[in-house]
Amino acid sequence: MTKKIMLMGATGSIGTQTLEVIAAHANLFELVGFSYGQNIDKAREIIKAFSPKIVVSAQESDQQQLAAEFPDMTNLFGEDGLIELVRTEDYDILFNAIVGSVGLLPTVEAINLGHDVALANKEAMVVAGYNIMTDAARTGSKILPVDSEHSAIFQVLQGVACQDDVRSLTITASGGSFRDKKREELVDVTLAEALAHPNWSMGAKITLDSATMVNKGLEVIEAHHLFGVPYENIHVVLHRESIVHSMITLNDGVVLAQLGASDMREPIQYALSYPKHLKMHNEKPFDLTEIGALHFEKIDLVRFPMLDLAYRVGKLGGGYPAVYNAANEVANQAFLDGKISFLEIEQLITRAVFEHMEFDGQTLNQILATDKETRQKVRQWIADLTSDKEE
């Protein structure tokens, strides 16, 4: 029996590697449907290669084109289309490789229908981790982490007989493109410099998030929800080689770590094949002697204030993580579009978090409203900043 996969975000960096894994194990996995954002040419290639039953385009015009070319396939579009996609009954795992909180509602819907979810889309977990985890506990859906650090912790936990023996988690951080720069050197860094990640080849948004360290902040919040560990017991260390993907410390001080190449196909494949570890396609055996030495350094929260802020919003809970995430999504895009400077990303996120006020947590609908309001506010601030610069 093949596992049927529904893939959101098929044309992206994670989506493409997920398709590689599916194709490499065609006897085990089958792509039954997918969604994509912009790249209709790539979507066409995927349709021809995998013959899915259903495809969701972000744009209506793309949906119409595909409907004309592939009339036997169900063609949908937009955010409503994503909800319809996950309501299709015939799949085993929703693989969420969308970037940004647009992936949240279809994830919640799939969980409420009892489907397992392989989650690369960390923004969804950051915005509504409490809702996702309580819904999953109620319906019995498994949340299978795809982020390499969380996959590492999840893999290591398979070998721990008593889960309450876990004292703390240690997430490794490569430090991103600017890890060797001082804060004063960040003033005029360029987009090309920000996108040159030392270890991983990833989508633009997460590569920039690594440079600002927002990515590690999102990952701390993601880990808190996935593994139910308090923030005081989640640590981050700088590890330049990205070989130790993360570790756990047990009550007696024993440390268990997961190591491997910087290749996202490993955690992707494990999320699909769990609990089995399948052979990797085109595997080159991982050889620690080729790496030689591994380094670990304390992380400086003054140098990386976005990590510090993530701990704060995580502890505050409610809508605060959604504010942090939404402000980052808008500011990150504005830097990618050349509208603001690198350090203005941090300033916008900090301002959005500090202006947010809430006293008693938020329901999912309130969180969604907070997400929307924050985006509008930060877009306005960016418009003000850019008009100031033009004057």
**Closest separation in Å from C-beta 167 to ligand NAD:** 26
CA distance 105 to 217: 22
Cβ distance to ligand NAD smaller for residue 14 or 334 = 14
Cβ distance to ligand NAD smaller for residue 208 or 353 = 208
**Closest separation in Å from C-beta 121 to ligand NAD:** 4
**Helix, strand or coil, per DSSP, at residue 363:** coil
Q: Any binding-site annotation on 14?
A: yes
**Contact in structure between 30 and 4 (CB atoms under 8 Å):** yes
If contact means CB under 5 to 8 A according to the sort of partner, which of ligand NAD, Mg ion, none does residue 272 touch? none
Tell me phi and psi for residue 50, to 5 degrees.
-115, -10
Cβ distance to ligand NAD smaller for residue 105 or 313 = 105
Distances (CA, A) of 64 to 25, 53, 68, 69: 32, 16, 6, 9
> Per CB under 5 A, does 147 bind Mg ion?
yes
Q: Any binding-site annotation on 96?
A: no
If contact means CB under 5 to 8 A according to the sort of partner, which of ligand NAD, Mg ion, none does residue 58 touch? ligand NAD
Cβ distance to ligand NAD smaller for residue 59 or 183 = 59
The secondary structure of residue 77, as a DSSP letter, is E
If contact means CB under 5 to 8 A according to the sort of partner, which of ligand NAD, Mg ion, none does residue 305 touch? none
> What is the full DSSP assignment across 148-213?
HHHHHHHHHHTT-S-GGGEEEEEEEE---TTTT--GGGGTT--HHHHT--SS----HHHHHHHHHT
Q: Which listed range, 48-56, 142-150, 174-182, 370-378, lies at the site for Mg ion (CB under 5 A)?
A: 142-150
The tokens of 258 are what? 């997961």
> Per CB under 5 A, does 266 bind Mg ion?
no
Q: Any binding-site annotation on 319?
A: no
Q: Any binding-site annotation on 45?
A: no
Q: Any binding-site annotation on 37?
A: yes
Beta-bridged to residue 144, according to DSSP, are: 118
Distances (CA, A) of 301 to 234, 294, 316, 343: 14, 22, 18, 15
**Helix, strand or coil, per DSSP, at residue 329:** helix
**Contact in structure between 172 and 237 (CB atoms under 8 Å):** yes
Q: Which listed range, 8-16, 33-41, 148-156, 339-347, lies at the site for Mg ion (CB under 5 A)?
A: 148-156
- One-letter amino acid at 185 equals E
Q: Any binding-site annotation on 123?
A: yes
If contact means CB under 5 to 8 A according to the sort of partner, which of Mg ion, ligand NAD, none does residue 13 touch? ligand NAD
**Contact in structure between 378 and 327 (CB atoms under 8 Å):** yes
> Per CB under 5 A, does 346 bind Mg ion?
no
Q: Any binding-site annotation on 103?
A: no
Q: Any binding-site annotation on 387?
A: no
Which residues of the chain form contacts with ligand NAD (CB under 6 A)? 9-15, 35-38, 58, 97-100, 102, 120-123, 147, 200, 202-203, 205-206, 264
**Contact in structure between 128 and 96 (CB atoms under 8 Å):** no
> Which residue numbers belong to the known binding site for NADPH?
11-14, 37, 39, 121, 123, 203
> Which residue numbers belong to the known binding site?
11-14, 37, 39, 121-123, 147-149, 174, 197, 203, 210, 215-216, 219
Q: Which residues bind Mg ion (CB under 5 A)?
A: 147-149
> Which residue numbers belong to the known binding site for 1-deoxy-D-xylulose 5-phosphate?
122, 148-149, 174, 197, 210, 215-216, 219
